[in-house]
A and B are shown apart, each in its own frame.
Chain A
């Protein structure tokens, strides 16, 4: 492929991708595969050096993009055991599903560590022909004649780098687009803050504690008391020789409740159901990350003249799913860039194809369907906690053996339920939930 040089002598790329995370690497990989001159910028010293996720990729959607990726990708464990704990202070209702079917290819969920996975994935993009610049930070978008036409870089390459178009994959803080006045800063009520600890254990200890064999793994979703009853989630992931525990709630929630995020994870780690799983381990990493959780209604515009926004930067997160959406949005951005390159037209009119691809895929179909979910929790912040408390007290009484007849016990339990949640509220809450979850 002929290299294009501008008269200034500086190198010109067909596409610049900002950020080597899941979305950015995917975009760069597919563009490079198509023979496009693509530059992938990573401000950290290696891809993955700033990345974090709860800990799993979903193999079925991922293999559509990267066939049989598990044969070469560095994954930790095959997650065959999936649990949800509805936690109260001193009890938990545990729901679980274990399937050894998921232990066979193509699997379902594979636990990964992003500092390792992203590095592998970026190398794949480089092998396909992408140019990766580590320790290179995009300081500003270059906007000329009403369009984005490159980036102002610092670090391992300094100065202006121009391109046909830019794919912004900057993560949850798309400050470049904000600084250029293209999008508004996300509100604190539409972002959650998660912290995560990675705790080292010998492999056998993990297998014993989580009832696992070989490289099989478990994931436990933690709800209710896990987040001090606030809307949010926690989870525990097993890796080969590490256990990850994370917890997060809305940024606005933290400030309203005057609760420190560091205290939230400390409390969760000390919960009587959680502590025995983590006892004796060594914390080797403590990380934090924001997740856009405002859903469809909080998404910024994604298409501009000369630029599209992908992944977390575009608010493309649906419930607990982020990596899939990031990867697919990166792929769609690459496909759209190819169309733009063919037509030599990087205007919004052509790049709008990106939004259309998102609309036609599971990404915006699901996000649109779930658009009322974030609002439901913002308006009813105790919804989850109330019902988790309720199922715990009902479970307690169901489980206790009292010296009374079953009929008296049933009546008593009914009394407990209606005392906590009057019938009218039960019905309206159920109705709200039915309307919102589709």
Chain B
């Protein structure tokens, strides 16, 4: 799955960020900590909620390309 999300400057995650807000708000855990380092799983099943974009200005959020991304069968 293609997300529209990217991290602007990865070095900020390791060098400056102390909050790791992204890992708490992402409902599918696209942001995880591995040995104290932030890993962004860009192939993960993003639900397109947009919460990550509100908690970190280093996250550039866009929706996936037209026709792609999460598909609700029920909603």
Specify whether A and B are partners: yes
Q: Given the complex, which residues of A lie within 8 Å of B53, measured CB to CB?
A: 173, 175, 185
Task: List the interface of chain A (C-beta within 8 A of B).
Answer: 43-45, 48-53, 113-118, 134-137, 154-156, 172-173, 175, 185-188, 191, 193, 195, 198, 239, 242, 244, 251-252, 254-255, 258-262, 284-290
Chain B binding surface, main DSSP class: loop
CB pair B54–A50 under 8 Å, yes or no, is no
- Choose from B27, B69, B73 the contact partner of A195 (Cβ within 8 Å): B27
State A193–B27 Cα separation when bound (angstroms): 9
Say how far B21's CB is from chain A's closest CB, in angstroms.
Answer: 4
User: How many interface residues does B have (CB within 8 Å)?
Assistant: 30
A-B contact pairs, 7 of them (CB 8 A): A43-B63, A113-B74, A136-B66, A188-B55, A193-B49, A261-B27, A287-B47
Say how far A363's CB is from chain B's closest CB, in angstroms.
Answer: 23
State A115–B61 Cα separation when bound (angstroms): 24
Q: Given the complex, which residues of A lie within 8 Å of B28, measured CB to CB?
A: 262, 286, 288
Besides A136-B66, A188-B54, 5 other A-B contacts (C-beta < 8 A): A49-B70, A115-B72, A137-B65, A239-B74, A262-B28
Q: Does B51 contact A (CB under 8 A)?
A: yes
Which of B28, B49, B67, B74: most chain A CB closer than 10 A?
B74
Complex interface bits, B41-55 against A, C-beta within 8 A gives 1, otherwise 0: 000000111110111
Are A155 and B67 CB-contacts (below 8 A) given A185-B53, A191-B54? yes
- Choose from A51, A239, A262 the contact partner of B29 (Cβ within 8 Å): A262
> What are the nearest 3 A-B pairs in CB distance?
A155-B66, A135-B67, A114-B75
Task: List the interface of chain B (C-beta within 8 A of A).
Answer: 19, 21, 23-29, 47-51, 53-55, 61-63, 65-67, 69-75
State A260–B47 Cα separation when bound (angstroms): 15
State A254–B21 Cα separation when bound (angstroms): 8
CB pair B23–A260 under 8 Å, yes or no, is yes
CB pair A254–B75 under 8 Å, yes or no, is no
CB pair B67–A134 under 8 Å, yes or no, is yes
Which of B70, B71, B75: most chain A CB closer than 10 A?
B75
- Choose from A43, A195, A258 the contact partner of B66 (Cβ within 8 Å): A43
CB pair B67–A261 under 8 Å, yes or no, is no
Q: Given the complex, which residues of B lie within 8 Å of A137, measured CB to CB?
A: 63, 65-66
State A156–B74 Cα separation when bound (angstroms): 24
Are A290 and B75 CB-contacts (below 8 A) given A251-B55, A255-B19, A255-B24? no
CB pair A44–B27 under 8 Å, yes or no, is no
CB pair A44–B67 under 8 Å, yes or no, is yes
